[in-house]
Amino acid sequence: MTRNKRRMATVKEQESKNWGKVIKRTSLVVVLLALIGSGFWVAPILTEMVQRKDVTKPEENSVVAVNPQKEDSSSWRIEIVGASDFVEQVDLEYFVKQRIASSFFSLDVEEASSIIEEYPWVKSAQARKVWPNRLQVTLQEHQPWLNLNNENIISHEGILFSPSNIEEFTKLPLLKGRYGKIEDLLSMYHFFSEQMPDNDYRIVELEYSAISGWQMRLENKINLYLGNKELSERLERFLAVIDAIDDKRRVNIKYLDMRYQTGVAVGWKAVEKQDAQLAYQ
């Protein structure tokens, strides 16, 4: 190889090495710029991941303090001990929690018992705490006896209360109208009921009006009008008339009006041709 050829080969080799260095430096700059650019996106993500880790996975030896006074008042529950005919557990719990905002820790059982006794169907109640979150309630219920104006219930003890489901007690004897105090009305119901001869004449509806007086509907669907005066005498007359009518015709009586001085008006059902007025001696 001539001297000139060797010189040209050396120059080309040197140029090739220089270009290789330039390419390597350029690639390194591009990679660094890419890493720097992506760091603006990666850094916030890494920071958020670290923060989430701190929140969701506390150190194993860390202790969280709980103040029992800060406990949510809705966390405790009422449990009725024994069977109940008219008091629903969920309704009673709602009723009590509307009036007590205490946590279970600070709940006063005497106060809770008093509030439970304000519930319409509850006659008496006794509450006690059962940890961790139950208020056990032992209660006695009012037993329904009479329906007053389709608005209230009267218990066997003569207690008046207003249940939300009054429409479910239409089969109870119904007292209608206003007659002094509730004790006076019950006294008259007792008075009339004691005069009725048997179950067929049980009073299913008793109504008082200041104008027309007392009237009632009996179990056998007879309507009886007594008025305001001489109630005992008119009841005696009613019983005498019932005995005087034979059984076959008695089932067709629609009403008996005792508001006459000495007689009785008898209304018959459709099978009878006409109403009749009977004299009473």
pLDDT along the chain (281 residues), means of 10: 50 52 51 47 45 45 42 77 92 94 90 95 95 94 94 92 90 91 92 89 95 94 94 93 89 94 88 56 47
Residue 231, φ and ψ in degrees, nearest 5? -65, -40
DSSP state of 255: E
- What's residue 57's pLDDT? 47
CATH topology of domain 173-279: Rossmann fold (3.40.50)
Whether the CB-CB separation of 207 and 225 falls below 8 Å is answered with no
Question: Which run of H or of E encompasses 223?
Answer: strand 223-227
Q: Could you tell me the pTM of the whole model? A: 0.66
Nearest to 201 by CA among 184, 183, 216, 218: 218
* Radius of gyration (C-alpha) of the chain in whole angstroms: 46
Question: Interior CA angle at 257 toward 223 and 186, to 5°?
Answer: 60
Burial of residue 43, with CB atoms counted within 10 A of its CB: 0-12 exposed, 13-18 middle, 19 or more buried? exposed
Distance separating the N- and C-terminal Cα atoms of the chain: 169
Distances (CA, A) of 225 to 37, 82, 167: 102, 46, 27
Look at residue 222 and give its three-state secondary structure: coil
Q: Does domain 68-141 have CATH number 3.30.470.20?
A: no
Q: Where are the alpha helices (DSSP H) in the chain?
A: 3-56, 89-97, 109-116, 182-195, 231-244, 247-250
The identity of residue 216, as a single letter, is M
Cross-strand pairs, 18: none
Distance between CA 243 and CA 277 in Å, rounded?
16
Q: Which two tokens stand for residue 219?
A: 């179990």
- Nearest of 173, 138, 134 to residue 153 by alpha carbon: 173
